[in-house]
Chain A
Amino acid sequence: MALPIEIIEIVLSKLSVKTLLRFKTVCKSWNILISDPMFIRKHHDRQLRSKGSKKSENLFLVKNSQGFSLVKLEKGRRIQTLQQVFGPYLWVTVLCFCEGLILICDLSKENFALWNPSTRTHTVFKPTFYCVNAAFGVCHDPITDDFNVVIAKSYNYSVYSCNNKSWTMLEKEYETNYWASECSPQIVYYDPRDDKFKILHMPENVDYDKSIYLVDLSGFLCLYYEGRDKNTIVIWTKEKGIDIHSWNKLMTIENVEEPLRWFKPKWLLGNKIVIRIKETNHSGRLIVYSPCKKRFQEFKDTKMVFGWLGFVPYMDTLFFPVEKSGRIITGEFGFPIEKSIPERERKRKRKCIE
């Protein structure tokens, strides 16, 4: 049965990444279609849309001693392990994630990789500077279709363009840490359109004496802090996107027994919230809180699974930085750091920035 290519495209956009990569072998035109950035974008957007819906599969990667396990949160607070996934390095630290891509580094903290676990591909890079005590971010620039890795330190930040394979070092205008700072909190974000850090307005009525925490919660930016006493936590969410500045109060959690810093919202499961509670550096457990019933319930057998750090939402996507020559990113205070700059001069420039 010969179907027209428009219909084939609709059908293919509903397949999993594994099947799509296999079907590149069917014929040349299918290979071209499946490799097409427009198709990849459509497939990706479909996955993003299904993420918040009931169809969402609640898949996560959990770090273990061999790499990662792909796990599924199931009904009855069970965790099913689906398969083992191997990353680019044996021992990794997960730094951050963005739309299915995960930024990781090896134990030396000198080798970095942006990894897509669903295509099992990655791109590696090395920062040209010291990364201790830095904050990390990954963002997708919708205009150039580039992925930018942002490494922010106290006074400057560096942006790595995956398309151009080059670094840009820029000076911070705000003396804040990336995302949230501990005292007199404010939230800053990186805008890939002009390579600048900007202040994100916080919800009204936030007590400015309290520490705030920021995490990704089912694709939303999530802000939480201590409520009227030590046992309550107030959670706000904001849709991602530079131009959306409105916060929604998600819920107030009561009767919290653990200190706030051990508490990490991870995922929305219908109207409930999945939270990881840290116990020590190497152990923790997973609980689900229902704001209607004001009740905590623990996931079964999570002690074993969550003895390790790293619990990252998994998204089936073909998304990956497309290699192409494009603009070289330079900022107002920045310059591209490339191999062509002599070592001595590079050191001098770095010194004047640091």
Chain B
Amino acid sequence: MAAETGTPTTLTLKSNDDELFSVAESAAILSVTIRNMVEDGCAGGVIPLDNVDGKTLASVITYMNGISAIPADEEKKKSYRDKFLSDKDFETLADMVLAANYLNMSCLMDAVSAKIAQVMEKKSVGWVRRKFGIENDYTPEEEAAVKEEHKWTFEGVETDDDN
């Protein structure tokens, strides 16, 4: 492979909306899913990634390139991850956590899920239902009872109008 020829091997990834991306193999194998394909010799042509759209894949590849350019320094990697995720909105983060899960990239998975948790921390129950597309299946009485039991946890919650 790459080490033998001396020139970096490039892989071609295809998103589920048929966009093609070139990425260095050394960066792409951060994904265990892709690494397994490479090791099994299935990475010769185009690698189809059926669960990731083009926009998300572009973002994931930016991350792969960025993080693999940093030498083994956990502090620097962490600050890169923080910066990379800092301007992402909830919908983008949700797409990325699904992609990271599908691509089996534990470091990205950890970082994105922690970021989502950080975004959720002070949010209201209504915000969560809207963003996660969850239907309230409590009866009004049941909901009031659950809420009453943990009344103090509703103090200091952000108001609902911030999207």
The digit string for B107-129, where 1 denotes a CB below 8 A from any CB of A, is 00100011011001110010011
- Give the dominant DSSP class at A's interface: helix
Contact B150 A24, beta carbon cutoff 8 Å: yes
A46 CA / B133 CA spacing, docked (Å):
27
The digit string for A3-27, where 1 denotes a CB below 8 A from any CB of B, is 1001110111011101101111111
Contact A16 B121, beta carbon cutoff 8 Å: yes
A31 CA / B125 CA spacing, docked (Å):
12
Contact A27 B138, beta carbon cutoff 8 Å: yes
Contact A11 B113, beta carbon cutoff 8 Å: yes
A1 CA / B95 CA spacing, docked (Å):
8
Which one, B113, B121, B133, contacts A10 given CB within 8 A? B113
Residues on A with C-beta less than 8 A from B129 are 26-27
Closest to B157 in A: A22
Residues on B with C-beta less than 8 A from A16 are 121
Query: Does chain B have a CB within 8 A of A120?
Result: yes
Query: Does chain A have a CB within 8 A of B36?
Result: no
Contact B137 A27, beta carbon cutoff 8 Å: yes
Contact B98 A19, beta carbon cutoff 8 Å: no
Q: How large is the interface on B (under 10, 10 to 19, 20 to 34, 35 or more residues)?
A: 20 to 34
Residues on A with C-beta less than 8 A from B136 are 26-27
The digit string for B94-113, where 1 denotes a CB below 8 A from any CB of A, is 11011001000000010001
Q: How large is the interface on A (under 10, 10 to 19, 20 to 34, 35 or more residues)?
A: 20 to 34
Residues on B with C-beta less than 8 A from A120 are 152
Contact A22 B91, beta carbon cutoff 8 Å: no
A85 → chain B, closest Cβ, in Å? 10
A12 CA / B157 CA spacing, docked (Å):
17
- Give the dominant DSSP class at B's interface: helix
A6 CA / B113 CA spacing, docked (Å):
12
Contact A25 B121, beta carbon cutoff 8 Å: no
A120 CA / B152 CA spacing, docked (Å):
9
Contact B138 A3, beta carbon cutoff 8 Å: no
Residues on B with C-beta less than 8 A from A26 are 125, 128-129, 132, 134, 136
A318 → chain B, closest Cβ, in Å? 12
Residues on B with C-beta less than 8 A from A8 are 132
A31 CA / B150 CA spacing, docked (Å):
12
Residues on A with C-beta less than 8 A from B134 are 26-27, 30
Residues on A with C-beta less than 8 A from B94 are 1, 3
Residues on A with C-beta less than 8 A from B147 are 25
Residues on A with C-beta less than 8 A from B135 are 27
Residues on A with C-beta less than 8 A from B154 are 22
Query: Does chain A have a CB within 8 A of B88?
Result: no
Query: Does chain A have a CB within 8 A of B19?
Result: no
Contact B120 A7, beta carbon cutoff 8 Å: no
Which one, B90, B133, B138, B157, contacts A28 given CB within 8 A? B138
Query: Does chain B have a CB within 8 A of A2?
Result: yes
A10 CA / B116 CA spacing, docked (Å):
10
Binding site for A on B (CB under 8 A): 90-91, 94-95, 97-98, 101, 109, 113-114, 116-117, 120-122, 125, 128-129, 131-138, 143, 146-147, 150, 152-154, 157
